[in-house]
Structure 1
Amino acid sequence: MSSTSATTTPTPEPAGRPPGGLTSTEAARRLADVGPNSLPRPRRVTPAGRVLAQLRDPMILLLLAAGVVTVLVGDAADAAVIALVVVVNTAVGVTQDLRADQAIAELDQLTAPVAEVVRDGLRLEVPAADVVPGDVVRLDAGAIVPADLRLVEAATLSIDESAMTGESQPVDRSVGEEVLAGTVATRGRAVGEVLRTGADSGLGRIAGLIGTARVRETPLQRRLRRLSRDLVLAVLVIGVVVVVLGLVRGEPLVQTSILAVSLAVAAVPESLPAVVTISLALGAHRMAQRHALVRHLPAVETLGSVTVLASDKTGTLTEGRMVAGAVWVAPGHRYDVSGTGYAPHGEVVPDGVAGPDGSLDRLLRDAALCNDARLVEPTADGEAWGAAGDTLEAALLALAAKGGARPDEVHRAWPREGEVPFEAERGWMATTHRAASGDQALRVCKGAPEVVLDLVAPAEPLRGTAAAETTRLAAQGFRVIAVADAASYDGTPPDDLPLELVGLVGIADPPREVSRDVIADCQAAGIAVVLVTGDHPVTADAIADRLGITEEESTTVTGPELAAGVDPDSLAETRVYARIRPEQKVQIVQALQERGDVVAMTGDGVNDAPALRNADIGVAMGKGGTEVARQAADLVLADDDLRTVVVAVEEGRRIYSNIRNFLRYAVSGGLAEVVVVVLGPLVALGVPLLPAQILWINMLTHGLPGVAFGAEPAQHSAMQRPPRSPNESVLGAGLAVQIGWVGATIGALSLLAGVAADVGGWDIQTTIFLTLGAAQLAVAMALRAPGPFGEKRPLDLAVAGAAALQVAGVYLPPLQSLLGTQNLPLPAALTAAGLALVPGVAVWLRMRVERRA
């Protein structure tokens, strides 16, 4: 445990300051009682424990059992593939488990390394971990708040709470109010008494939310787990049936058991985990090319199943910067402002008829003069203009520059002589200036409209018009600033002159240019988009309406309403959540999940991290977001481009479609082999296939061709259909029926080939062997996604290679000895090839009908 020690020379606390704080003895006692002011740590899990947790997955257990069987029957190739798949899947799962620990570790970066406290009447700098409840802490501009404080002194204090609450602009705090750990003082100074530290602080509670959030299974993982259980049951039934039928026919138990085991191995699509892993890895590679980092492989597919996209506002749907977007000047003319961020590039364009000459110039001059901020030019390619000081004041500087009033020139022409700094209790700021040439003096005042309008001359004729304009701008989501001034030409002090209203400026955090298109694309794909923000409902509704999130029947829910209890059924129509606290974001995500939705959450702040962790997939901003959000997320957008989310949805749907196509192909092939082995003796074909022949077909069809399905491109209609229900089986939506008729068709035609061989005097087992393998490969080609003629794909090469090896198994002597096959005459080979094409043609015709529908 850290000891309380000074890191700088103690300074006596000036008279008139707050009480002398705790004594060093009392601080040490409290530190021993409550523990260090640090974030809670998750319980450590040993590497062995993480590995064992992954090996308990039903599909992995099924693969391990199949691996044991393949070793026993001497199938070294399949055993090696199964071992590789188990290792890869286990490694991916362990990596996923490490994310929670990493997210908590990154929260430490937000805690102040040192804090300035008052103890024994002296000002000391101590490690932030040694701060205890009751300590008196001093804050200056730029300081990170080390713990939750109640302010006992505050002078023009503004706190950047965006990372904690989602508020898009610094918040003014005054005596008696609380400030939270992890927030940043952007202006002024303050003294506060520590209320809560460590796990009890606001930052600590968020860390606890992240640490206690369980890793949810993705929809694909849930579907594959159910499929694994069904396959295990099916394999056991098949084995018992084959053994019983063999014994009834009088065949030896050992031979019948080997045949049953071989058939069971063939019926299990052991390449499925490899297909899934490779599909996800290829998807992650494609996403990386679009500047998106996939931190959790299953997240790529999960986006394809998303039914609700819950998005933070500040820095996600919006730019995360304050921008002046509208201007109103006396006597009543409006202007629109173009440009983005704090860059002094854009135009101030009249909305209708321009105002009188000089009216706009006067407002722009005043906005630059009554201002303590500074615009920061980019220092490297690709950087944006920044703001030093209050971001709202920086937006006013950018506005002045866009209108031609360069701030540096204005300040040289009107040097400042005095000022009344902004205070939250007052609600306004004023500065006095004297012209560099001449005797003219000027007083400029800016602040909240309701306050500034009370300061202007009582007979001001535009007071009512300005109040109505303020209401109009606020309804559009703008924060409105009123500007007034008073000029003296005869030496009269400007402070003695009545103020005149100059105009109003509407400032907002504007939507990103791509946000509306992203939302429209999501809605076209059947994904509901909801806005979750800490902002005021009026601001949130305005942004949501501008982006096309809201509809006529949609509703808005506030944080207090959510805390009071909301009917879960009403959430179906809710599109805006405003004044939401961090823990309520988690509540919203969980409520949507309980309704059966698959939820994607986007965000960039510390306050978003718990929701990102709890969502089915968390999407964080990589450039403008916090490291905590990035570590808690599954997908990080390195360039903060929301269009990548739409690309990822399409990628996820492509992956899921390819997995279903693989199952359609692999499971139907396994079913066909079961049909042949079980029904062959009933149509007088004896033992239609040997165990080695079954395993050979299985290796060729489930090997490279099966894995190649993971690289198939997306269908053009992928984003025009709604997401699949998360409760739907991976074999749902008619896939099980298709597998049934395809498998039955392949099996029946293979038996027909055996009957033809019996009639023609050809080797029955070899003819069935060739027909069965070729028919499965024909189905694989029929399931190939449409594309340009002649386009080369891994699936084409894999099928060609498998077909060559299948033929080699019939005609090459070494393989004949291994597989028990014989040379077939040309008529037999042509018969087998002709029958093998029929299932492929039938599937191809069916797929064309489905795609047109």
Structure 2
Amino acid sequence: MLAQLRDPMILLLVAAGVVTVVVSDASDALVIALVVVVNTAVGVTQDARADQAIAELDELTAPVAEVVRDGHRQEVPAADVVPGDLVRLEAGAIVPADLRLLEAATLSVDEAAMTGESQPVDRVVGEELLAGTVTTRGRALGEVVRTGADSGLGRIAGLIGTARVRETPLQQRLRRLSRDLVLLVLAIGVVVVALGLLRGEPLVQTSILAVSLAVAAVPESLPAVVTISLALGAHRMAQRHALVRRLPAVETLGSVTVLASDKTGTLTQGRMVAGALWLPPAHLYDVSGTGYAPEGTLSPVGRDAPDGAIDRLLRDVTLCNDARLVEPADPAEPWGAAGDTLEAALLALSGKGGVEAVDAHRTWPREQEVPFEAERGWMSTTHRHRSGHPGLHVVKGAPEAVVDLVAPPAELRRLIATETARLADQGYRVIAVADAPSYDDGRVRPGTLELVGLVGIADPPREASSGVVADCHDAGIHIVLVTGDHPGTATAIARVLGIADDSTATITGPDVEDGLDPGELENTRVYARIRPEQKVAIVRALQERGEVVAMTGDGVNDAPALRTADIGVAMGRGGTEVARQAADLVLADDDLRTVVVAVEEGRRIYANIRTFLRYAVAGGTAEVLVVVLGPLVGLRLPLLPAQILWINLLTHGLPGVAFGTEPVRAASMHQPPRSPRESVLGGGLAAQIGWVGALIGVVSLGVGLWAHAVGWHVQSTVFLTLGVAQLGVALALRAPGRRPLLRPLDYAVLGALLLQLGGVYLPVLRQLLGTQALAPAAAAAALGLAVVPGLAVLLRERLRR
């Protein structure tokens, strides 16, 4: 609640409320109090709903660890693990603390959440595992060396805690506007009091008039308009599966100039997929399909491979494999993988080619195996056909390691090197497969194997990613890729998505460590091998250049940068809880298209706020001009304080708030974002406010002089003209579009118009406001001339469009 009350415009309203209480202006004090209460209640409610939605997303249970204490195995909560504990890990286990490996058998670890590395990393005895990573294959025994704040996870938590949450561009603009309005209000008060005293009017009456004009000059509905616009935007985004944790963040996306995106699980699927095959001597195949589902096709690029070549490759990658695919119980859910994700991608490939893993293992039961080791670079399995006669030896691993076992002719070796490089340039991790049709004792002997083919495996882009990149470019938003992955892989993905090209640069972690040159940032689109603290440095460097930075991510390692960025966007379904809690916006369905929807929503909100200011400040300007200039043209007191406050209440009330519901303008996503340094009244808005306010003021004074000349009640005529003229301008500023035919703004203007007429013709209101019922001729003249400013604004808007 206190956070809501610290808003500069709210503080200005509170100050105005204090003044109105001091001068016994109870009605306006009540209006101001109502605006403050509504604004605070809406903001607090939205924050609470966001926290509740995030809590509902968190379906993860607190992990447990299997430790060895006093020679006995036992399961304890991960939070109770202490340095010196021995922790046993199996495939799929979450590492509970930083460990030093004492034993490791074919151990691979998924470190994507901590480092951004998209592929599992092999770990051996003596190396360390970081808390929060997940074992994907093998087993291990490790000694706990660090826990809590000292662990890798804890250090990231520390970075999150020290990250300063920046003001949003809208908050900065409104703070500057509040400062300017305070100066304007003081100036108006001094001028009005001075002129009143020079005319010999009592100080109390002059002071009340000055306060009334000051309140008229302040668009006190602005906080309500801003809050309701943000709340409606947050509601609309929640319907599109985007949960807003911090209300001002809704508008911030509309001001974003740079979108710094993580790669793994954000722009990419976060799942390994086989996408290309090469069979010697020159047979290429493209592989379709997504995720681990064994559904897709193998399409030749050029000539088909000889009969049986594809089946042989698919059989080998199925047999030399320790993973398994997990079919979901719900057909709408994706297939899962148990074991090494790279091997699961090979199993999915086999399924696409019609090879069933169960049948392959039944036909070729395994007899021996040599597990994969990073130093060796390959794994092998030996099999005997179920008939008992032929044997089979299969090896798969890094091409440079497998080629030495195959010992092909020099020409074929060059072909393999060329194809490996080509696939790597496309972002693939290349696996070579070789076999021998028979074996003796199961040992692998160099030169005895025959190369079967190469498989390109990658973490492919999400289907929506290319569209998101294109839409962001169209909206003038630069996208940069910030990842812990390999530079080649990151650059390849960036080029596929249209983020990078031959003219852009790639910066690596060591470059960031040496210091970022501001000149390099302009042309850099890929940051690779980046550690968590370096992500924060990149975001800050971009902010120092004046950029408004949005950071997307899903891992623990993204959390500090999510907190540091102007707006952090986390994945709700596939992301970590740490990232979700650090973010301002959570994509519940992990659909990146929602980011574009949010940008459009942010721009709609900012456009509506500017439209309201154009309307409200112009009306306030007109009221000030009428009261200040009236005595100079022969109208001693054209409006009473109560009449000013009534006009202000009607025009800034329901119609003002209704501006927050106006639909998005078609051109909003085809224009560059506004500079955060630009005033909310910038871009020509101040000039528009000036001429519209002057036009309303001149028309109202003209009607007042006419009334004075023919004997109509001057204050009632000016009162009616001034109020209706502002309502006409409100209708002229409606966002273009035919649907719906009648919007909340139309109903609000109609209601305000009826109340304005009631101020002239209802006895109770006439007594309260000091007005008189106007003759039909006077009312017709007032209403007829009151539409002139609205028509002028409407004509200008049509010509501008």
Q: TM-score normalised by the shorter chain: which range applies? A: over 0.9
Q: Do residues 223 (structure 1) and 165 (structure 2) align?
A: no
TM-score under structure 1 length normalisation: 0.90
Q: 1:749 to 1:728 in 2, by over 3 A?
A: same
Amino acid at match of 1:647: V
2:795 counterpart residue number: 845
The yes-or-no answer on 1:116 pairing with 2:67 is yes
Match of 1:73 in 2: 25
Quote the offset at 1:212 in angstroms. 1.7
User: What secondary structure sits across from 1:296 in the alignment?
Assistant: coil
1:618 counterpart SS class: strand
Are 2:132 and 1:182 aligned?
yes
The farther-off stretch of 838-847 and 453-462 is 453-462
394, 400, 404: which one aligns with 1:444: 394
Q: Which letter does structure 2 place at the counterpart of 1:334? A: L
What is the deviation of 1:769? 0.3
**2 CA distance for matches of 1:637 and 1:512?**
14
Corresponding position of 2:586: 636
The runs of at least 4 aligned residues of structure 1 exceeding 6 Å deviation read 96-99, 105-111
Alignment of 1:692 with 2:642, yes or no, is yes
- Does residue 481 (structure 1) correspond to residue 434 (structure 2)? The answer is no
**Counterpart pick for 1:772 among 722, 732, 736:** 722
Q: Structure 2 CA distance, aligned partners of 1:594 and 1:742? A: 37
* Counterpart residue type for residue 87 of structure 1: T
C-alpha separation between the residues in 2 aligned to 1:683 and 1:74? 32
The CA distance in 1 between the partners of 2:43 and 2:154, in whole Å, is: 32
Shift of the 96–203 alpha-carbon distance from structure 1 to 2, 3 Å rule, reads: farther
Which residue, out of 737, 741, 763, partners 1:813? Answer: 763
| Candidates 323, 328, 336, aligned match of 1:386 | 336
Aligned equivalent of 2:37: 84
Residues 128-178 of structure 1 deviation map (CA, whole Å, 9 limit, x = unaligned): 445444554443333322222232332211111111111112110112322
- Displacement of 1:97 in angstroms is 12
SS of equivalent to 2:291: coil
**Structure 1 residues 92 and 217, CA gap change in structure 2 (3 angstroms):** farther
SS of 1:75's partner is: helix
Cα deviations by residue, 1:747-805 (Å, 9 ceiling, x for unpaired)? 11111110000111100101100110011001101100111177110000101111111
Instruction: Tell me what 1:456 maps to.
Output: 406
Is 2:46–2:247's contact at 8 Å kept on the other side of the alignment? Answer: no
Report if aligned partners of 2:43, 2:247 keep a CA contact under 8 Å in 1. Answer: no
CA distance in 1, matches of 2:43, 2:261: 32
Closer, same or farther: CA 651–710 of 1 in aligned 2, 3 Å: same
Instruction: Name the counterpart of 2:227.
Output: 277
CA shift for structure 1 position 460: 7.7
Partner of 1:828: 778
Aligned residue for 2:166, secondary structure, equals coil
Is residue 89 of structure 2 the alignment partner of residue 139 of structure 1?
yes
Matched, 1:434 2:387: no
| Corresponding position of 1:289 | 239
Q: How far is the alpha carbon of 1:127 from its aligned partner?
A: 5.2
Are 1:116 and 1:126, in contact at CA under 8 Å, matched by a contact in 2? yes
Q: 1:235 to 1:323 in 2, by over 3 A?
A: same
Query: Percent identity among equivalent residues?
Result: 72
Secondary structure (helix, strand or coil) at the match of 1:685 reads coil
2:538 maps to 588
Unaligned ranges ≥5, structure 1? 1-50
CA deviation after TM superposition for structure 1 residue 109, in Å: 6.8
Distance 1:272 1:535 in 2: 46
> Where does residue 243 of structure 1 map in the other structure?
193
* Match for residue 559 of structure 2 among 600, 609, 621: 609
- Structure 1 residues 96, 596: closer, same or farther in 2, change over 3 A? farther
- Once the two structures are superposed, residues 235-256 of structure 1 have per-residue CA deviations (whole angstroms, 9 ceiling, x without a partner) of 1111111111111000111111
Structure 1 partner of 2:373: 423
Q: Please, which moves more after superposition, 813-822 or 90-99?
A: 90-99
Equivalent residues of 1:111, 1:182 under 8 A apart:
no
Distance 1:360 1:335 in 2: 10
One-letter code aligned to 2:65:
V
Secondary structure of the corresponding residue to residue 717 of structure 1: helix
How far does residue 198 in structure 1 lie from its aligned partner after superposition?
Answer: 1.5
Question: What is the identity, as a one-letter code, of the residue corresponding to 1:606?
Answer: V
> d(CA) in 1 for partners of 2:414 and 2:740?
73
For 2:685 and 2:410, the matched residues in 1 are separated by 75
Other-structure match for 1:28: none
Q: Is 1:647 the counterpart of 2:597 in the alignment?
A: yes
* Residue 505, structure 1, aligned to residue 458, structure 2: no
- In structure 2, relative to structure 1, the CA distance for the partners of 1:111 and 1:161 (3 Å cut) is farther
The answer on whether the counterparts of 1:447 and 1:482 sit within 8 Å (CA) in structure 2 is yes
Which letter maps to 1:754?
G
Q: Distance in 2 between matches of 1:827 and 1:53?
A: 53
Contact 2:276 2:286 (8 Å CA) reproduced: yes
Q: Gapped runs of 5+ residues in structure 2? A: none
Distance 1:108 1:596 in 2: 39
Contact 2:66 2:73 in 1 (8 A): no
1:760-799 to structure 2, matched below 5 A, reads: 760-788=710-738, 791-799=741-749
Aligned to 1:433, the other structure's residue is in SS state strand
In the alignment, which residue of structure 1 is the partner of 2:313?
A: 363
Q: Secondary structure at the match of 2:436?
A: strand
- Of 327, 330, 334, the residue aligned with 1:377 is 327
Distance 1:111 1:179 in 2: 19
**Judging changes above 3 Å, is the alpha-carbon distance between structure 1 residues 790 and 54 closer, same or farther for their aligned structure 2 residues?**
closer
Q: Does structure 1 residue 331 correspond to structure 2 residue 281?
A: yes
Letter in 1 for 2:35: I
1:198-237 matches, within 5 Å, as: 198-237=148-187
The one-letter code sitting in structure 2 at the alignment partner of 1:75 is: S
Q: What secondary structure, in the 3-state scheme, does the structure 1 residue paired with 2:637 have?
A: coil
Worse overlay, 258-267 or 183-192: 183-192
Amino acid at match of 1:399: L
Distance, in Å, in 2 between the alignment partners of 1:524 and 1:378 is: 38
The one-letter amino acid paired with 1:292 is A
Tell me the SS of whatever aligns to 1:175: coil
1:68 Cα offset (Å): 3.2
Deviation, 1:215, is 1.9
Of the candidates 347, 356, 367, which is equivalent to residue 406 of structure 1?
Answer: 356
| Residues 177 and 680, structure 2, Cα contact 8 Å, conserved in 1 | yes
Q: 1:509 to 1:598 in 2, by over 3 A?
A: same
Equivalent residue of 2:285, what SS? strand
Are the structure 2 counterparts of residues 589 and 789 from structure 1 closer, same or farther at C-alpha, using a change threshold of 3 Å? Answer: closer
The DSSP-based 3-state class of the residue aligned with 2:376 is coil
Distance 2:199 2:502 in 1: 71
Give the deviation of 1:86 after TM superposition.
4.5
Task: Measure the CA separation in 1 of the matches of 2:57 and 2:122.
Answer: 27
Other-structure match for 2:695:
745
Contact 1:487–1:494 under 8 Å retained in 2: no
* 1:113 partner amino acid: V
CA contact (8 A) 1:92 1:297 kept: no
1:348–1:153 CA distance, 2 compared to 1 (3 A): same
Provide TM-score, normalisation by structure 2.
0.95
Kept in 1, the 8 Å contact 2:185–2:214? The answer is yes
Contact persistence 1:330–1:359 (CA under 8 A): no
- Deviation (angstroms), 1:209: 1.2
Q: Are the aligned partners of 1:54 and 1:94 in contact in 2 as well (CA < 8 Å)?
A: no
Residue in structure 2 matched with residue 257 of structure 1 by the alignment: 207
Correspondence for 1:300 among 250, 253, 257: 250
Q: Is the 8 A contact 1:375 1:386 kept in 2?
A: yes
Post-superposition Cα deviations, 1:395-451, rounded to whole Å, max 9, x if no partner, equal: 000101111112121111111111111122221111111112351110111011111
